[in-house]
Structure 1
Amino acid sequence: MNFKDLTNKTLIADKDLDWEDLGSGVKRKIMAYDDNLMLVKVAFEKGAIGAIHHHPHLQMSYVAKGSFEVSMGDDKKILNEGDVFFAPSNVFHGVVCLEAGLLIDIFNPHREDFL
């Protein structure tokens, strides 16, 4: 299934979607999106880095598995399974994976650059 097939889908099976290898121990899977909202799974190997970056989108990320050192603006905190971080528009943020993990990222609006 390609990304365009996901637009406005309401019932999505994980097994029907492929991982996109981003290199350096990081891969992602776009699960669903429409113009306003996008949900993405991002898997990290231990030691993998989600580089410091910013974007105009609102982002919430749920730590589904593992442990991450999260940088948000000038703050840093270790977050573990069950924790959440919120990245407001244009705030620099990034992660370092301390224990192999999985983030569930939600964006508003959807990330056109991921498609």
Structure 2
Amino acid sequence: MFFKQKDLHIDQLDDNSSREVLAYGDQLMNARIFFKKGLDPETAIPVHNHPHVQTTYVLKGSFKFIIKYPDHDDIQVVKAGDGIYFPAQLFHGCIPLEDDSQLLDSFTPIRVDFLQA
């Protein structure tokens, strides 16, 4: 299946962020997440978890990520070119640190909720 740029749709998530599902199949999905502004905890992706395995690649800008393990929190600043792996059910969240920051997220299995937006 082909996903051409002219056919892709951007979903507005809130005042600061939007999401574009780039490609998906039965078990794998890629999505690009856009952030208009940074440096404000109100613009954050709240700490959450989900049953999907996730990788995140920073396309543009930088982010402060928090990963909550049972015995400690890991807080890291990542920038363009850095990647992160999240096992299923791991609590995580982030704050964009720069305006116009972007992430490329991959999920397995796919995020059906992203297709219903």
5+ long unaligned stretches in structure 2:
none
SS of the residue 1:23 aligns to: coil
Aligned partners of 1:45 and 1:97 also within 8 Å: no
The corresponding residue for 2:12 is 21
Aligned residue type for 1:72 = I
Q: Which residue of 2 aligns with 1:72?
A: 67
Cα displacement (A) at 1:39: 0.4
> How big is the shift at 1:72?
1.1
For 1:94 and 1:113, locate their aligned partners in 2 and report how far apart those are by CA, in whole Å.
18
C-alpha displacement of 1:35:
1.5
Runs of 5+ unmatched residues, structure 1: 1-8
Structure 1 partner of 2:55: 60
What is the match of residue 88 of structure 1? 87
SS at match of 2:31: strand
Structure 2 equivalent of residue 103 of structure 1: 103
Match of 1:38 among 24, 29, 34: 29
Matched-pair identity in %: 40
Give the deviation of 1:24 after TM superposition.
Answer: 2.8
Residues of 2 paired with 1:30 and 1:101: CA distance?
17
Q: CA RMSD in A?
A: 1.1
Aligned-pair CA distance for 1:12: 2.2
Larger RCO (CA within 8 A; separation ≥ 6):
2
**Counterpart amino acid of 2:112?**
E
Supply the distance in 2 between the matched residues of 1:15 and 1:61 (Cα, whole angstroms): 24
TM normalised by structure 1 equals: 0.87
Count of aligned residue pairs for this structure pair: 106
Q: Please report the TM-score for the alignment, with normalisation by the length of structure 2.
A: 0.85
